[in-house]
């Protein structure tokens, strides 16, 4: 971090204030990063379960794959997906709540008898896919937030705080040297004045 250093007390106070702000914020940022890290792990676990459930539903219906070829794709479709926003460590994440399906009417006499059960299976599959997409989105948002939090922690910890401390140290040294030179100059002037008075 390149700082424009002015060697005066105003700049010293400004840098001390900036350092104090960052040092106070750092523990909070670290906690936030740790929370996001834990949530990412939990979200990955949930997503894995959702994927396994989806695979199990597919495995359940795969023996009837020949029958599914005659299934009418337009019998059931998603009408509405309800979600709510959940705030996690300051991050807003959409979370799945409910899904509404619309079924187009069909004759049970002119279609195979299993179509009625097929509609339920298709609805279950669609709901599983929507839930999985919400979980994937949640994981993506959490990973981005964790990455940003990690970057900010590293920026504060490894760049800004050390740079501010170094700048404060340089300004203090400069001001001390200036003060010492002024005192030495005053002593020399005093000695010269005393010699002038004696002569």
Give the sign of the dihedral formed by CA 133, CA 138, CA 144, CA 147: negative
- Of the pLDDT bands very low, low, confident and very high (cuts 50, 70, 90), residue 107 is low
CA distance 184 to 178: 10
Q: What is the pLDDT of residue 121?
A: 78
- Say if residues 75 and 118 touch (Cβ distance below 8 Å): yes
| pLDDT for res 75 | 67
User: What confidence tier does 109 reach under pLDDT thresholds 50, 70, 90?
Assistant: low
| Radius of gyration, CA atoms only, the chain | 35
Nearest to residue 143, comparing CAs of 84, 96, 91? 91
pLDDT tens profile 47-96 = 999 999 889 888 887 776 666 566 566 667 788 899 999 888 788 999 99
Angle at the Cα of 77 (from 71 to 80), degrees rounded to 5? 165
Exposed e or buried b for every residue in 182-191, given b needs 16+ CB within 10 A? eeeeeeeeee
CA 46 to chain centre: 18
Residue ranges of domains in the chain, CATH in brackets:
9-193 (1.10.287.3240)
d(CA 161, CA 125) in angstroms, rounded, equals: 52
pTM: 0.76
Four-CA torsion 154, 158, 161, 166, nearest 10 degrees: -170
């Amino acid at each position: 971090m390149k700082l424009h250093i002015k060697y005066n007390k105003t700049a010293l106070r400004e840098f001390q204030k900036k350092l104090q702000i960052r040092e106070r914020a750092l523990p909070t940022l670290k906690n936030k990063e740790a929370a996001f890290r834990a949530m990412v792990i939990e979200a990955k676990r949930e997503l894995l379960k959702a994927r396994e459930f989806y695979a199990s539903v597919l495995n359940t219906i795969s023996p009837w794959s020949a029958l599914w070829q005659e299934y009418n794709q337009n019998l059931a479709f998603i009408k509405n997906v309800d979600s709510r926003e959940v705030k996690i460590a300051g991050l807003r994440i959409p979370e799945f709540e409910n899904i509404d399906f619309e079924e187009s009417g069909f004759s049970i006499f002119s279609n195979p008898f299993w179509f009625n059960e097929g509609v339920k299976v298709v609805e279950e599959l669609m709901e599983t896919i929507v839930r999985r997409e919400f979980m994937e989105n949640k994981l993506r948002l959490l990973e981005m937030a964790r990455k940003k939090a990690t970057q900010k922690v590293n920026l504060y910890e490894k760049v800004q705080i050390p740079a501010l401390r170094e700048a404060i140290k340089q300004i203090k040294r400069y001001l001390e040297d200036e003060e010492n030179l002024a005192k030495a100059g005053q002593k020399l002037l005093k000695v010269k004045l005393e010699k002038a008075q004696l002569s």
